[in-house]
Amino acid sequence: MVLCKANCGNKAILKRPKTGDALCKECFFTAFECEIHETITKGQLFKSGDKVAIGASGGKDSTVLAYVLKLLNERYKYNLKIVLLSIDEGITGYRDDSLETVKKNRDDYGMELKILSYEELYGWTMDKVVSVIGKTNNCTFCGVFRRQALDRGAKMLEVDCVATGHNADDIAETVLMNILRGDMVRLRRCTKIKTHSNEDAIPRVKPLKYTYEKEIVMYAHFKKLVYFSTECIFAPNAYRGHARMFLKDLEKIRPSVIMDIIHSGEQIQFKENIKKPVLDICQTCGFVSSCQPCKACVLLEGLNRGLPKLGIGKKSKGERMIAQQNLERIHRVKNDF
Amino acid sequence: MCSIGEEDFGDEGGAHAMIEDIKSLEIVDEICKKCSNEKSVINIIYAMCKTCFLHYVTHKFRASLSASKIVPSNSKVLLNFSGYAPDVCILDMIDKGLLLEYHKKLRFELEIIYIDEDCLNEGNDINDLKRRYERIDKVKKILEQFVKFKCHYSSIANKYIVLPLDDIKENDMNAVINDEIKLLAYLKSLKSSTCKQDYVDIIRNENLRHIANQLNCQFVFLTDTTIDLAKRFISNMALGRGSSVAFDVSFCDDRVKSIRFLRPIKNVNMIEVESYIKLKDLDVIGAQKEISNTNQLSIQNVTSQFIDGLQQNFSSTVSTVARGCSKIAPYKKSNQSNHVNGEISSKLNQTSASVTDINQRCYLCKSFLDYQNSETLYAIEFSRFVSEAAADIEHILKNTEKIEEKAMSEVNSNENEFKKHLCHGCRNIFIGSSDDILAEIFQ
Ligand SMILES: [Zn+2]
Ligand SMILES: [Zn+2]
Ligand SMILES: [Zn+2]
Ligand SMILES: [Zn+2]
């Protein structure tokens, strides 16, 4: 029998992947919560009096985040007002079920919940998008729309920051993925615990940055938290899938590899000539973007014009497509007379 | 939860999608697109004849040297040679380049080092001198295909032994066996295959520098190709070597100014290398240098298999990773703006400033020390101490500052004179080993 490392006399029930220490259930809860508290205070993620929106998907990460933030807020008197912000992508059989979980969180934790749907924001549900474009590029639409939807929701709720459930595994995986696709700009950014897209934008924070996915699952399990655990029914992203399986293989060899990759991602230096994106306000929709018009607006225009491939490929290709269509329109107009 | 994060989408949208290869290396009777004269023999970016293809590969090699202008005329260069396809490919290009007429002639002097790593492969009997000699004899035969270069022999186990390769006899290898036994014993004390391989990579570099110095060479040519860079980029990231990975994948590794490592064929891929060897009908030991003990699970081996898998079906991803290597820098910018959030960095900086300055190097790998302001390493140490104290939450609440201090002191290694001089990646080599094992490297 392995005893708890904390010398409480209890039997250990898990071995912590980050350090290899074995802990009993109660000590695990304490250590898990204290670490997140440490991450929050040392990273200065919140200020007293802040209104914080949790990007709530109903999945294990955001469910644990909501539970722990509520608990720490009370234990350490952060003086935060915590609300839940959910995005309804309009995916039948996936999001409608997970939203039920979020509603249960709302009731259990007594937090206000705001649900924003793609349908009300963009006039398109993901079901409808997929019916037009098929299942090859739908994750692009979903990702781009969600990113902006969270910004919009945060603005509506007038919050000071949005806390997302990204855990250590997610961040390590994103580091690998950005290397696989040669995206040095995102490689630089993805390990940051707090991101401001620009000075006016509402910051995003990742209180679970140093928390292993395995521990999040264990915590939710032992605390009997209700979460939704089905993967999105639409095709998963090939890069994510590859990067994830590779990371799991590495983790089996050396569990600390996740922290090592995050450390590496933070330490890596870039040549001066790598262009940094200039973040600005999209002139069409008014939200933060690094290009004009923003990605969400381009994708939306493509959908509405019946050119759903617009914005999926290279920018120039999209511009050619628009020019082509405009040209055809002029022709048609001319021929009408 | 949907696994797609917002980091997944750049301004290019889904242009990032992984592109599967179109297998069209086969050549239908076509005329060379370059000279529009000869019949093509290969289809790399377009159909090329033999002459144009060889020129194309040679150009990549020579362009990397001339663009960098790092190697002055009459320098002495040491080539790390083990007889595999990339080694033979680069040697052939140098061999031909030295014979060219005036303005195209390569202007450096080349010597060759063969480092014997036979002992590292666990299946090998180091006392089987006959087998070992056969291998060396094979390398000698391969070298006979070229102009006579000065060739040297050394063992991974002893950098002080440098012998003329030509004169090596079966019994000469007795001289290195004792050192090899010592090295193997040391490797055995490291706790995993990952640690062992990482350690060997470091001593190989160390040996190369030492030997180059002894032979008065200012430069060492390494024969890494595109796929080697991709593998090393990712495995070094996974080993926690993000701060120094740029040295290990760049054209020029100048972490030690007096002996610079160059990678002149880093933009040449394995298909090109193998085609070059085939078209010129050159003799080699094998296609790619095999890593010792590939059957063992290690970060390096699993990464290597992962990249080999990508190479099979998504070869453009491998080139993308390799291209990424040229976008990272080994040197820190003067103003450290990496970790501005949080008080921890400033605290860590304060406590460490007196101990180490930013340019201080790792004793083992000679890269910059990288632990001083790492919030991530701090989080690991904090986790360790908070686990120990987790039985009593009141105690933690009252002693948070003490725990934080202990964690910071651990990151900065205030208690351990040895660890203080190692970067995070090198500290990882000694995970689970006793301090005596660590102390040995400082002797
Ligand atoms: Zn316990
Ligand atoms: Zn817009
Ligand atoms: Zn030709
Ligand atoms: Zn080092």
A113-143 pLDDT tens trace: 999 998 888 888 888 888 887 766 667 777 7
**Considering chain B, what percentage of its residues have pLDDT values greater than 70?**
86
A61 belongs to an annotated ligand binding site: yes
* A6/B303 CB distance under 8 A: no
A96 belongs to an annotated ligand binding site: no
Looking up tokens 């450290």 gives B336
Q: Of B112-126, B185-199, B348-362, B414-428, which range is least confident?
A: B348-362
* A268/B387 CB distance under 8 A: no
**Considering chain B, what percentage of its residues have pLDDT values greater than 90?**
64
CATH fourth-level superfamily of B70-325: HUPs (3.40.50.620)
The predicted pLDDT at position B347 comes to: 47
- Give residues 231 to 250 of B whose Cβ lies within 8 Å of A: 233-234, 236-243, 245-246
**Domain spans of chain A, in order of start:** 44-270, 277-337
The predicted pLDDT at position B44 comes to: 80
Residue B221 tokens, joined? 């040519």
The predicted pLDDT at position A196 comes to: 77
The predicted pLDDT at position A14 comes to: 95
Q: What is the DSSP string of B13-26?
A: BGGGSPPPPP----
* B12/A182 CB distance under 8 A: no
Residue B295 has pLDDT above 80, yes or no: no
Q: What is the CA angle A64-A66-A71, rounded to 5?
A: 95
Distance CA B388, CA B427 (A): 22
Residue B55 tokens, joined? 């020129």
* A239/B388 CB distance under 8 A: no
Residue B23 has pLDDT above 80, yes or no: no
Q: Residue A181 Cα, ligand 4 centroid: separation in angstroms? A: 27
Task: Determine the average pLDDT of the residues in B119-144.
Answer: 91
Q: What is the CA angle A258-A259-A265, rounded to 5?
A: 95
Helix B226-238 crosses helix A168-180 at what angle (to 10 degrees)? Answer: 170
Q: Which residue has the higher pLDDT, A189 or A167?
A: A167
The predicted pLDDT at position B219 comes to: 97
Residue A251 has pLDDT above 60, yes or no: yes
Q: Residue B237: list chain A partners with CB under 8 A.
A: 175-176, 179, 261, 264-265, 268
A55 belongs to an annotated ligand binding site: yes
The predicted pLDDT at position A201 comes to: 78
Residue B338 has pLDDT above 50, yes or no: no
Residues, Cβ < 5 Å to ion ligand 1: A 4, 6, 8, 10, 24, 27
Nearest-CA distance B355 → chain A (Å): 20
Closest by CA position to B89, among listed B61, B49, B52, B117: B61
Cα B417 from chain centroid (whole Å): 28
Residue B159 has pLDDT above 70, yes or no: yes
* B342/A34 CB distance under 8 A: no
Distance CA A27, CA B385 (A): 12
Residue A23 has pLDDT above 50, yes or no: yes
* A182/B324 CB distance under 8 A: yes
Residue A196 tokens, joined? 């401001």
Residue of A nearest to B241 (CA): A264
**What ipTM does this complex have?**
0.91
Q: Residue A118 Cα, ligand 2 centroid: separation in angstroms? A: 14
The predicted pLDDT at position B199 comes to: 97
Q: Which residue has the higher pLDDT, B346 or A127?
A: A127
Q: Which residue has the higher pLDDT, B434 or B205?
A: B205
A57 belongs to an annotated ligand binding site: yes
Closest by CA position to B194, among listed B57, B274, B297: B297
Mutation target vs B (from A4, A195, A213, A263; most B CBs, 10 A cutoff): A263
B3 touches chain A (CB under 8 A): yes
pLDDT band at A264, cuts 50/70/90?
A: very high
The predicted pLDDT at position B18 comes to: 60
Distance CA A172, CA A189 (A): 12
At residue A141, the 3 state secondary structure works out as helix
pLDDT band at A337, cuts 50/70/90?
A: very low
Q: Does domain A44-270 have CATH number 3.40.50.620?
A: yes
What pLDDT digit, counting tens, does each position of A210-225 carry? 999 999 999 999 999 9
Residues, Cβ < 5 Å to ion ligand 2: A 282, 284-285, 293-294, 297
Q: Of A273-287, B177-191, B314-328, which range is least confident?
A: A273-287
The predicted pLDDT at position B354 comes to: 37
pTM of this structure: 0.90
What pLDDT digit, counting tens, does each position of A315-325 carry? 555 555 655 66
Distance CA B322, CA B231 (A): 9
Average pLDDT of chain A to the nearest whole number:
86
Q: Residue B93 Cα, ligand 3 centroid: separation in angstroms? A: 18
Average pLDDT of chain B to the nearest whole number:
86
The predicted pLDDT at position B8 comes to: 47
A49 belongs to an annotated ligand binding site: no
pLDDT band at B210, cuts 50/70/90?
A: very high
Q: Of A48-62, B167-181, B215-229, which range is least confident?
A: B167-181
Q: Of A6-10, A150-154, B358-362, which range is least confident?
A: B358-362
Mutation target vs A (from B1, B19, B362; most A CBs, 10 A cutoff): B1
B336 touches chain A (CB under 8 A): no
Mutation target vs A (from B386, B410, B423; most A CBs, 10 A cutoff): B386
Residue A36 has pLDDT above 60, yes or no: yes
Task: Determine the average pLDDT of the residues in A67-91.
Answer: 94
Residue of A nearest to B340 (CA): A43
Residue B246 tokens, joined? 């740029």
The predicted pLDDT at position A77 comes to: 96
Task: Determine the average pLDDT of the residues in A70-97.
Answer: 90
Residue B357 has pLDDT above 60, yes or no: no
The predicted pLDDT at position B335 comes to: 43
B359 touches chain A (CB under 8 A): no
Residue A272 tokens, joined? 């001066």
**Domain spans of chain B, in order of start:** 22-65, 70-325, 342-440
What pLDDT digit, counting tens, does each position of B52-98 carry? 999 999 999 999 998 888 899 899 999 999 999 999 999 999 999 98
Q: Residue A171: list chain B partners with CB under 8 A.
A: none
**Which segments within A6-111 are labelled E, that is strand?**
14-15, 22-23, 51-55, 81-88
